[in-house]
Amino acid sequence: MVKKYKKLQYFLADFSSRVLPEKLTHHAVRPFKSLHEEKTQNYLGIYLSKDTATVVCLGPEGGDYKVLACFSVSTEQQEQAGGSPTETGLARLIADGCVERGLKFSEAAVALDCAMFMQHNVHSEFTDAKQIAATIRFDTEEALSTDITDVAIAFKITSSDRTGSGLAVFTAERKMLSGLLLSLQSNNIDPITIEPDVNCLSRFILQNVYSPEDLHSLFCMLSRSSGYFIAFAGSMERPAMRTFLVDPTQDRGDLLASQVPVTAALLGTEGPIRQLKVLESDGSVNYQQLSEKLGIEVGGLDWLSSIAAGPETIADCADPVDFVIAYGAALAHLQEAQTVNFRNDFSPYQGKKVHLQKALKLASCSVTILMLFVGLYVQSQLFKTNRDRSRLRDKFKPNYSAVMLGQQLPPKFSTASGKLAGELRRIKSVKEGLLSVTGEESISAKLTLVLDAFNKCAAQTNLNIDSITIGTRNIVIAGDTSSRVNTLKVFEAIKKANLNILQQRVESVTGRDSFRITVVPKNS
């Protein structure tokens, strides 16, 4: 049994070291076995559109971050290769891409393409973020004049004054977001945030590009299908943002020439726009001509040098703007309060909490199993002891009855042992003649005690014995001495002979001191 118990310990130890960590990855953000075997502080940013995704993995390096890997995937490529697109096809491609590159990360974040959400300007009567979050659905429903029951909401405070706050409110279909989240979680990727792409762009600019000289600058990003404007005029912490769709066949120079004045008016910046910095995916914009049309300085955005990377770093990414958005999503962990997060509204992130709960649950199960087997082991030892005791009792019972003249064996062995010891002493006393077979002290033993007493005092006391009557329990002695003093000496000798005087009668007759006493042995 001890060997089995040790084998159980080895099994549980192996179970804890091998099985438990793998089981805990259902809600964790480490999507693959290799990712949770080693602790890491890398962060994964995912930019998702309808049929494409761009992934950037950042790792800490000194006080900054280094791009460990980046890649783009598309369900269109899967269809061209003969695969069948499914709801989870894009998430599966992302997971496979991470496995192929051996990426390890602790957290993931998602940026949604602007085609998957809508942006609105909403006014709130409050300036505190918690109060705004509690009333944002009512304010948005009132501003849009439509039912938003099936809509997830995220917001960003763009301005505040005595009348309240101006908000950039983003709305997306709850059903679409739930399907997207479930598809990622089914591939063991649980993003901490799901944000609008323009918010991730503003985070990238603040972290890597922005400088005090850019206070009155307008940043523009043009990808293959989307356009973004971000202005920091008047507030670095609350940039104004705008997104719009781009027709791939439209001249981008003309597009910017028409959109910049409109954007400046819509964003309501506190001062004039003095500079336009552009990041575009195909490099078709003539900055000099655009500067002449707008009357402001226009130039490209030197974003590669800001991340200390060369063109080879983004070689696997389909679009530089997509890369920048995914990079900004990977920086989501830098912000403590994630207000522009759709998950806060429809599915709050609980990955770490569930991870801890499952770890505690499985640890409790392991301890319970261990204690169960320990209890079974102890119980088996008790059963074995009781079985041996019962076998010994059955064997000892007839012998006890024979020795104790038919008496039943007591429930406790200690009681039986005491009775047997007493019987043994009685048998020894019978053999030595001190007791009769019935258990009483023998006549010869009693007579011997009396005679010993008389021999010690007869000569000194002039003792005469008239009669000695020995019964089963006592001895009656009748006699006389020469004086009362001698009679008392006889009584003293009898007491020293281990006899007790129960009754005595003394009288003087014809010059002699006559006595009649009843004595018994002291141990009776």
Residue among 95, 157, 96 nearest 124 (CA): 157
Cβ proximity of 241 and 226 under 8 Å: no
Q: How many Cα atoms are found within 13 Å in the side-chain-facing hemisphere of 228?
A: 27
Question: Domain 443-521 adopts which CATH fold?
Answer: Alpha-Beta Plaits (3.30.70)
Q: Is 197 exposed, middle or buried (0-12, 13-18, 19+ CB in 10 A)?
A: buried
Order across the sheet with 240-245: list the strands: 240-245, 226-231, 217-222, 275-280, 297-300
Q: Which helix (H) or strand (E) holds 501?
A: strand 499-509
Tokens 């695969």 belong to 83
Query: pLDDT band at 37, cuts 50/70/90?
Result: very low
Burial class (CB in 10 A: 0-12, 13-18, 19+), 127: middle
d(CA 434, CA 445): 6
Render pLDDT for 66-106 as a digit per residue (tens, 0 to 9): 899 999 999 876 655 544 444 458 999 999 999 999 998 88
Q: How far apart are CA 208 and CA 201, in angstroms?
A: 11
Q: Is 153 strand, coil or helix? A: strand
Sign for the CA dihedral angle at 94, 99, 104, 106 comes to positive
Q: What is the DSSP secondary-structure string of 426-478? A: HHHHHHTTSB-TTSSBPHHHHHHHHHHHHHHHHHHHT-EEEEEEE-SS-EEEE
Q: Is pLDDT above 50 for 186?
A: yes
Q: What is the pLDDT of residue 461?
A: 84
Residue 472 has pLDDT above 80, yes or no: no
What pLDDT, on the 0 to 100 scale, is given for residue 174? Answer: 93
Q: Name all contacts of 441-447 with Cβ < 8 Å and 24+ positions apart.
A: 441/521, 441/523, 441/524, 443/470, 445/521, 446/470, 446/475, 446/521, 447/475
Q: Where are the domains of the chain?
A: 28-349, 383-431, 443-521
Percentage of the chain surpassing pLDDT 90?
Answer: 26
Q: Regarding predicted confidence, which is higher, 411 or 42?
A: 42
Helix (H) or strand (E) run with residue 130 in it? helix 129-144
What span, in angstroms and rounded, lies between the C-alpha atoms of 315 and 347? 35
What is the pLDDT at residue 234?
Answer: 58
CA 11, CA 310: separation in Å to the nearest integer?
51
What is the average pLDDT across 140-159? Answer: 90
User: What amino acid occupies position 168?
Assistant: A
Banded pLDDT at 200 (limits 50, 70, 90): very high
Asked if the model's pLDDT at residue 364 lies above 60, the reply is: yes
Give the 3-state secondary structure of residue 261: helix
In the predicted model, is pLDDT for residue 5 greater than 90? no
Cα-based torsion angle of the residue sequence 172, 174, 180, 184 in order, rounded to the nearest 10 degrees: 120
How crowded is residue 402: how many other Cβ atoms within 10 Å of its Cβ? 10
Q: Is residue 214's pLDDT more than 80?
A: no
Compute the distance between CA of residue 262 and CA of residue 260 in angstroms, rounded to an integer.
5
pLDDT tens digits, one per residue of 473-496: 788 899 999 888 888 888 888 888
Going by C-alpha positions, the residue among 431, 480, 476 that lies closest to residue 450 is 476
Going by the DSSP 8-state scheme, the letter that residue 111 receives in this structure is E
| Cβ-based burial of 32 (10 A; exposed 0-12, middle 13-18, buried ≥19) | middle
Q: How far is CA 478 from CA 51, 231, 506, in A?
A: 132, 138, 10
d(CA 138, CA 151): 12
% residues pLDDT > 70 (the chain): 82
Mapped to the 3 state alphabet, what secondary structure does 238-257 carry?
CCEEEEEECCCCCCHHHHHH
Q: What is the pLDDT of residue 522?
A: 76
Residue 336 has pLDDT above 50, yes or no: yes
Task: Look at 279 and 32; give whichever has higher pLDDT.
Answer: 279
* pLDDT band, very low/low/confident/very high, at 11 (cuts 50, 70, 90): very low
The Cα 188–Cα 413 span in angstroms is 65
- Give the chain's mean pLDDT: 81
- pLDDT score of 195: 94
pLDDT at 338: 62
Distance in angstroms (rounded) separating the CA atoms of residues 136 and 196: 17
User: Where residue 432 falls among pLDDT bands split at 50, 70, 90?
Assistant: low
Query: What are 228's strand-pairing partners?
Result: 221, 243
Output Rg (C-alpha) for the chain, integer angstroms: 52
The predicted structure's pLDDT at residue 48: 95
pTM of model > 0.95: no
- Answer with the residue of higher pLDDT: 92 or 27: 92
For helices 351-403 and 2-14, give the axis angle rounded to 10 degrees: 180
Q: Does residue 135 carry a pLDDT above 90? A: yes
Please state which CATH class domain 28-349 belongs to.
Answer: alpha beta
Rounded mean pLDDT of 316-341?
85
Q: Is the pLDDT of residue 520 over 80?
A: yes
Flag the least confident range among 261-275, 379-393, 454-468. 261-275
C-alpha distance from residue 263 to each of 113, 148, 154, 241, 243 (Å):
19, 27, 22, 9, 10
What pLDDT does 441 receive? Answer: 54
Does pLDDT of 196 surpass 80? yes
